Amino acid sequence: MTANIRVTVWNEFQHEKTNATVRAIYPEGMHTAIANALRGFGDMDVRTATLDEPEHGLTDEILKTTDVLIWWGHKAHDLVRDEVVARVKKHALAGMGLIVLHSGHASKIFKALMGTGCSLKWRESNDREILWVTSPGHPILQGIDDHVIIPVEEMYGEHFDVPEPDETILISSFSGGEVFRSALTYRRGAGRIFYFRPGHESYPTYHHKEVQRIIANGVRWAAPVSNSAAQTYGNRGPLP
Amino acid sequence: MTANIRVTVWNEFQHEKTNATVRAIYPEGMHTAIANALRGFGDMDVRTATLDEPEHGLTDEILKTTDVLIWWGHKAHDLVRDEVVARVKKHALAGMGLIVLHSGHASKIFKALMGTGCSLKWRESNDREILWVTSPGHPILQGIDDHVIIPVEEMYGEHFDVPEPDETILISSFSGGEVFRSALTYRRGAGRIFYFRPGHESYPTYHHKEVQRIIANGVRWAAPVSNSAAQTYGNRGPLP
Amino acid sequence: MTANIRVTVWNEFQHEKTNATVRAIYPEGMHTAIANALRGFGDMDVRTATLDEPEHGLTDEILKTTDVLIWWGHKAHDLVRDEVVARVKKHALAGMGLIVLHSGHASKIFKALMGTGCSLKWRESNDREILWVTSPGHPILQGIDDHVIIPVEEMYGEHFDVPEPDETILISSFSGGEVFRSALTYRRGAGRIFYFRPGHESYPTYHHKEVQRIIANGVRWAAPVSNSAAQTYGNRGPLP
Amino acid sequence: MTANIRVTVWNEFQHEKTNATVRAIYPEGMHTAIANALRGFGDMDVRTATLDEPEHGLTDEILKTTDVLIWWGHKAHDLVRDEVVARVKKHALAGMGLIVLHSGHASKIFKALMGTGCSLKWRESNDREILWVTSPGHPILQGIDDHVIIPVEEMYGEHFDVPEPDETILISSFSGGEVFRSALTYRRGAGRIFYFRPGHESYPTYHHKEVQRIIANGVRWAAPVSNSAAQTYGNRGPLP
């Protein structure tokens, strides 16, 4: 019997407290909506953590028992403490999976792992988003047809200032004519990083079944493999 | 003084002979339009070759004196003789640059170098194409703004069945909501390959100034470097 | 309960019939040694196939029920019939995993999928090979320390004429001072390809426990995911 | 006439002041040795800068007029001020080329651009290093044969904790049996980064002709292309 994957869903959980529109869509917060969706798949043990908790809910103890961390942040990026970012980065490089959602592109943790500015173009005007599969057979796309339609979303447009991805598996078009690389994979250290674009707070994107499935597949893809023995560094003598 | 780059523009040159619409746009053939545009940049010596010439105009002598070969084919892919394809492939792997345009995605030479099916979705219905820069600073995009608009073109849509590119430098959207990775680079052997999407025969795409500039930049990028000494293979003894 | 992975181990099975040294190491053929090792892991159903069987043992029916095909060939590459190569390629691009071992680098199927010459330097003189991990955390390296030593092996040296791999996960050194990228991954179409260097016929390499483990991990990594729905191509109208 | 490439060679310049062995090899510092070698190629205007100068010699004015920055640091990484690192990173992402040499792998600027720990194994015991070409035809290897031998050098061994490179163009073996990816390229933002391994302070590596040639080729490869217009980000309306 395979053990369940241990997932922690982190959300800054700010919009939901101050914006009635967002609260109507996600009464218990986006993290809860995402966590409940993941629990429905049956192979994950899911916890949540938020900005306002002590240490943002991301103590070393929590991270040590997290296989995959999901990150949603937007207007409070600057309030995330640098030592927590450093801690998350340390665990990610040691093998913990990391899924960065939507506006998390501008989070401290994503920028620290990418090394670039991670900027993009954006517009809030109810664009239709179509995500096209560019990598059939990729495990993150299991059960997904050749495209996914999200009726209304915020537009993100290229250039997306990230390193050339290891794999570009979905590319979006928007009603306004823009395009965006929307599902990207990176390996950093012994860890796997999955960036997934959809999920503006004012749209019900995380209730979308195919979006939920892609996130669940991403969790399975990002879950760590135990060979940290290979991460050995420093001074050493010649082999015998 | 740097020597000019020696370019050979190959075109199957069939539509122009039988289709009045195409002939009106390219009276001397697409190859001549592309060759004349490239000559205008001043740093290239440009020849042309076509399907109906002996050996399709691609003798070993011609290929030996070609730095970069440009390929346009569409309805006559099957008429290109296998020994000519093998000859072009041999020179490409030895360092000759290769630029494959538009419907050349389904040519024998491109499929032989990619190893995949190279299929895609398509539609001829006057879509507007917008090509977005995904790799600022790339030499093939020198002098290009953050996007290029082609008012009417054939639609190509993902999935484009090619290997993950070394670099994805332009992604297109089309009026119908599709996306396509439109400018891709690959290195194979000692040679460089640039796939560039635009250029359906029934539209004046090769008269478009930015399209011409991208092809010219591509020629400069694909031109070979002389270190074939590194391509050494076979049985050998230990180093002294 | 997860279904077992269906593996077919293909071997040209020539050296073992004519060379007493090889037969002493692999009395039932290398394919049988590899198949037995894989059976020991408990999560695979393993068959074998060889050159001398009808259709080389690789009928469409066999390939349809193969999740991962393992390929060992050396002196009989030219005897593999082109239609069987085309058949294997079709299944590989449709999602069947393919693991190419050692001298399979020069097989028709590997060259057809890579698009390059796939040549290399080599020497048979009992070099010690050390394989160093360059991608900790990669699932193919699960349970492997930071290096693996094979006491005696044939030397393969760079340049290895293959496309830049998606991932380079092991690099070998040899006693003579050469290096070689020994474990490489590629995605082509919906399929995954794993090239793994060790395994000259005159050494007991496939009895080596870590070599067996890496091949088993490779099988799990290359096993297909069922979303061939994304491989849709051809003419189509605009979205509604 | 093409303008010369403007190069700034930065060296922490500490070992040379305190260690007689190093000073004997590089009486005017490693930066001066590298700068003089580059001047000999005739197509570069070369300046130097060092840690002890005001702002480490890397003012905004200097960086604005630098096409390619070369970085050598080792024991004084921590003394490089964070605001200078941030300034160099800003210029690198905007298009300035960056060549990081040897122990610069652990510099603040390299780690900030890579996003990983950048650690490795090492040993100072006069290993022979052989650098093997893995990318024939690459412009950085122009004029280089299929391998380069450095008679004595410090050993660096895998795992080298960096992201999967865009291109791996040289891999080293060492007498002790280790391997190392020694020449790596990355694109970040609009800038190009070249990591090149050789150059321990106690060996005359930067007097080695092929090492000098590879650095000079690297400068030409990393020099920027002027299309920063593509780096446009932020809120914007739909296209007309």
Nearest to D230 among B144, B227, B239 (CB): B144
* Predicted local distance difference test score (pLDDT) of residue D152: 97
Interface test with D, best of B148, B225, B236 (most D CBs within 10 A): B225
Mean pLDDT of D107-111: 98
* Predicted local distance difference test score (pLDDT) of residue A206: 98
Interface test with C, best of B88, B116, B186, B231 (most C CBs within 10 A): B116
Q: Where are the alpha helices (DSSP H) in C2-49?
A: 15-18, 20-25, 30-39
* Predicted local distance difference test score (pLDDT) of residue A228: 61
pLDDT band at A231 (very low <50, low <70, confident <90, very high): confident
* Predicted local distance difference test score (pLDDT) of residue C178: 96
**Backbone φ and ψ of A105, nearest 5°:** -55, -30
Query: Which residue does chain C place closest to A231, by CA atoms?
Result: C136
* Predicted local distance difference test score (pLDDT) of residue C228: 61
pLDDT tens across D181-192, in order?
999 999 999 999
Give all chains having 3 or more CB-to-CB distances under 8 Å with chain A. Answer: B, C, D
Scanning A33-92 for CB atoms below 8 A from C yields none
Nearest to A179 among B160, B164, B173 (CB): B173
CA distance C123 to chain B (A): 6
CA distance C177 to chain D (A): 6
DSSP bridge pairs for D68: D7, D97
Query: Which residue does chain D place closest to C149, by CA atoms?
Result: D177
CA distance D124 to A174: 56
Whether the Cβ atoms of residue C156 and residue C61 lie closer than 8 Å to each other:
no
Interface test with B, best of C90, C173, C236 (most B CBs within 10 A): C236
3 state SS of D114? helix
pLDDT band at A16 (very low <50, low <70, confident <90, very high): very high
Q: Is B130 on the interface with D (CB under 8 A)?
A: yes
Do B134 and A181 make contact, defined as CB atoms within 8 angstroms? Answer: yes
pLDDT tens across D79-96, in order?
999 999 999 999 999 999
Assess if CATH 3.40.50.880 describes domain B5-115+182-227: yes
The residue ranges of chain C whose pLDDT is under 50 are 1
**Is the confidence at residue A1, as pLDDT, over 60?**
no
CA distance D160 to chain C (A): 7
Query: Which residue does chain D place closest to C179, by CA atoms?
Result: D173
**Among the listed residues C100, C55, C51, the one whose alpha carbon sits nearest the alpha carbon of residue C78:** C51
Find chain C residues with C-beta within 8 A of A191's C-beta: 137
Q: Amino acid identity, residue C103?
A: S
pLDDT tens across D52-66, in order?
999 999 999 999 999
- Residue D166 CB: number of other CB atoms within 10 A? 18
pLDDT band at D227 (very low <50, low <70, confident <90, very high): low
Whether the Cβ atoms of residue A35 and residue A68 lie closer than 8 Å to each other:
no
Supply the DSSP symbol for A129.
E
pLDDT tens across A154-196, in order?
999 999 999 999 999 999 999 999 999 999 999 999 999 999 9
| Count of alpha carbons within 13 angstroms of residue D167, beta-carbon side | 27
pLDDT band at D99 (very low <50, low <70, confident <90, very high): very high
* Predicted local distance difference test score (pLDDT) of residue B1: 47
Do C227 and A166 make contact, defined as CB atoms within 8 angstroms? Answer: no
Q: Amino acid identity, residue C125?
A: S
pLDDT tens across B160-182, in order?
999 999 999 999 999 999 999 99
**Is the confidence at residue A229, as pLDDT, over 90?**
no
Whether the Cβ atoms of residue D159 and residue C132 lie closer than 8 Å to each other:
yes
CA distance B200 to A234: 57
* Predicted local distance difference test score (pLDDT) of residue B7: 98
* Predicted local distance difference test score (pLDDT) of residue D35: 98
User: What is C5-115+183-226's CATH number, 3.20.20.370, 3.10.129.10, 3.40.50.880, 3.90.550.10?
Assistant: 3.40.50.880
Do B132 and A179 make contact, defined as CB atoms within 8 angstroms? Answer: yes
**Is the confidence at residue A11, as pLDDT, over 50?**
yes
Mean pLDDT, chain D, rounded, equals 95
Whether the Cβ atoms of residue B146 and residue B170 lie closer than 8 Å to each other:
no
**Among the listed residues C19, C114, C116, C28, the one whose alpha carbon sits nearest the alpha carbon of residue C74:** C19
Scanning D159-218 for CB atoms below 8 A from C yields 159-160, 164, 167-168, 171-175, 177-179, 181
CA distance C191 to C68: 10
CA distance D158 to chain C (A): 6
Cα–Cα distances in Å, from A56 out to A28, A200, B175? 17, 21, 44
Tell me, rounded to whole angstroms, the distance of Cα D136 from its chain centroid: 21
**Among the listed residues B214, B186, B132, B93, the one whose alpha carbon sits nearest the alpha carbon of residue D166:** B186
Domain covering A5-114+183-228, topology: Rossmann fold (3.40.50)
Nearest to D230 among B133, B167, B190 (CB): B133
The residue ranges of chain B whose pLDDT is under 70 are 1-2, 226-229
pLDDT tens across D14-27, in order?
999 999 999 999 99
Peptide bond into D208 cis (omega under 30): no
Nearest to C159 among D134, D159, D160 (CB): D134
pLDDT tens across A73-90, in order?
999 999 999 999 999 999
* Predicted local distance difference test score (pLDDT) of residue C225: 84
Q: How many CB contacts within 8 angstroms connect chain B with chain C? A: 95
Residue D185 CB partners (closer than 8 Å, separation 6+): D140, D165, D166, D167, D169, D192, D193, D194, D195, D221
Q: What angle do CA C68, C73, C75 make, to 5 degrees?
A: 170
